[in-house]
Amino acid sequence: MDVALYIRDFVDDPVKPMFQQIEDAAEIVRRARSWGFMGIYTPQHWVGHPTVWMQPIPLLARLAPEAAGLKLITGVMLLPMQNPVNLAEQIITLDHISNGQFVLGAGVGYRETELEAAGTTRKDRASRFEECLTLMKLLWSGEEVNFDGEHWQVHNARVAITPLQKPHPPVWIAAQSRRAARRAAVMADACLLGPQPAWKDIRYLARMYWDAVERHGTQSSSMLGAHRSIAIAKDREAAIRQAEAAAEGKAGMYGGWAMQEGSTVDLGLTRGRELSEWAIVGSPQDCAETITRCYEEQGLRYLGLGHLNLPKDHSARLEHLQFISEELLPLLPR
């Protein structure tokens, strides 16, 4: 089981100077490999006031020198809102900066404010996503590209350098619906399940993905991953007590952003949901049992951890991550 750290947890304070938060995150990244983590990941949102969302590619580029041996993962980049030519070149650049350690996690997005700012709508985002990814793959080949799509037209276009990873960096597609799980099976190297769905819906989405993988014959090149929230402490009661406020805050934020849609599984964005229904929670042994069950039953091979009971103080955060490193990671499947 590969485990990555959610870097936004360390750069999301609207009050503390951001440069100091980035320096603190850099120290965490320098230690992450020795702690047993395989990578770091960070998401994308625009105009999210009052919440703070640093843009993933420049942040990962800043952290790359501290991250030797770690994967740098976008978790996730919102493709319908990007210019695919610009993004293809940005990804080539970051793939070389990171010595071939970049992973493109990608999703369709959902916030009306962001989609409107990019000149699109929810109705068009799936077709824009697929067209953007298709065009980027063509550009990454290094051949001259002539592309006449519904949303983008490119003629006589050829990139000057291609990605370090061949044919291109791994592509992991986020899925919270049956259609997205099928898209991941066809267009990507992995399906990436999100932190909001309940465990029963994680099982449903995993089944949809593996069924689609079998139908399309992509078993040899497919992987199931997930980004999940964790509340971990020496005992279950302490973990739940420490995490309740953060869990309620997340539900309120995503609920206010109208994340829930008819086509997705239930994202549980109403307040008062039991933590154990959707999060990894409890003692290290409790958490290891939850993760191991997903490994054995759903075929989960990558796990990104966002933290529900992360301390505020930097030194306390280092101790918390050390606790995870020493008490949880050794219990996970190898």
What digits encode the pLDDT tens for the residues 182-208?
Answer: 999 999 999 999 999 999 999 999 999
> What pLDDT score does 282 carry?
97
> What pLDDT score does 60 carry?
98
Tell me the β-bridge partners of 193: 175, 226
Q: Could you give the 3-state DSSP secondary structure of residue 75?
A: coil
Share of the chain above pLDDT 90, in %: 89
Considering the chain, what is the average pLDDT of its residues? 95
> What pLDDT score does 334 carry?
87
Task: Tell which residue, 89, 148, 159, 151, has the closest CA to residue 115.
Answer: 151
Domains of the chain: 1-169 (3.20.20.30)
Q: Where are the alpha helices (DSSP H) in the chain?
A: 18-35, 56-63, 84-97, 112-117, 122-140, 178-187, 199-216, 236-256, 284-297, 314-323
Q: What are the φ/ψ torsions at residue 202 (nearest 5 degrees)?
A: -60, -45
Cβ atoms of 80 and 108 within 8 Å: the answer is: yes
- Tell me the per-residue pLDDT of 254-300, one tens digit each, with 9 for 90 and over: 777 878 888 888 888 776 788 999 999 999 999 999 999 999 999 99
Per-residue pLDDT band at 43 (split at 50, 70, 90)? very high
> What pLDDT score does 271 carry?
67
Tokens standing for residue 176: 């919270």
Q: Could you give the 3-state DSSP secondary structure of residue 192?
A: strand
**Whole-Å CA distances, 3 to 48, 216, 225:** 27, 28, 10
Q: Could you give the 3-state DSSP secondary structure of residue 83?
A: coil
